Structure 1
Amino acid sequence: MNDETRSVFIEADPETVWTALANDENFSAWYAPGSVWRIPELEVGCKALFTLMPSEHNQLEEGEHVDMSFTITEVVPHSRFSYTADDDQLHFIFDLRPENAGTRVTVNMDGFQLSLENLKAFAEGRELPNI
């Protein structure tokens, strides 16, 4: 992980953006579409599971998948959601901040630009640009 951050302004209130981030069905819809997030309990210390499926944005071949496990480290409704990858200890932090008539979402690392574009479109009720 590096010290870069990425952010996006979303024309939606923090509650709407929070629901896109903290609900596994919604998270699955915009983050690596076709892959699946499972967040059985949205509580610190609980596990979140992610199954990455093949797409044009990764190197997986048809029929392959990668299962990943994360530990939820912070849950502050409408404000912050963070989790740590169990295999490599990468710590992902999504900060939400009201801004003008919408919400600014900042993630603590580089490499999330396509996902943030999808999150913006999803929360604004538009078609995802990166499928």
Structure 2
Amino acid sequence: MSIIARLPETDKAHPEAACAGMPIAEHLDAREVERLAAQLKALAHPVRLRMVDLIHAHGGQLCVCEFEQYFDVKQPTISHHLKVLREAGLIRSCQKGAWVYHAIEPAVFARLRRSWTVLPRRARHRPPRLPKPQSAHPEPDNP
């Protein structure tokens, strides 16, 4: 179905104007988009995503000394990943004696979940299915 078929009668003569008058509703302002992108970028690394999961699994707080047993990286790398999560506002750190504990920022994750609603739950129109690619090396016929 073409866009012309879906336009009201008055717009069929000028299909280029179909989108020109449609207001675009923004769910997120520019500052929110930048913040959300930084948080998602921080979570996009497998080690950092696992760290957040571990903190959550341990009641929302975990000592820095407990991370090393879960990863095949050394303590300086763990500290770097924790710093990235902290700078993105996803976790907070507090020192208790000689140890530093890291906790999830629940309000930030709640805001992330709410912001995620800007993505469509499912596409209105599915893209056409593409044919299966032809193999460069066809299989021989078996007699």
- Please identify which structure carries the higher helix content: 2
Q: Which has the larger radius of gyration?
A: 2
- Is the shorter-chain TM-score for this pair beyond 0.5, marking a shared fold? no
- Please identify which structure carries the higher strand content: 1
Q: Please give the TM-score of this superposition, normalised by the length of structure 2.
A: 0.22
Q: Please give the TM-score of this superposition, normalised by the length of structure 1.
A: 0.23
Structure scoring higher RCO (CA < 8 A, sep ≥ 6) equals: 1
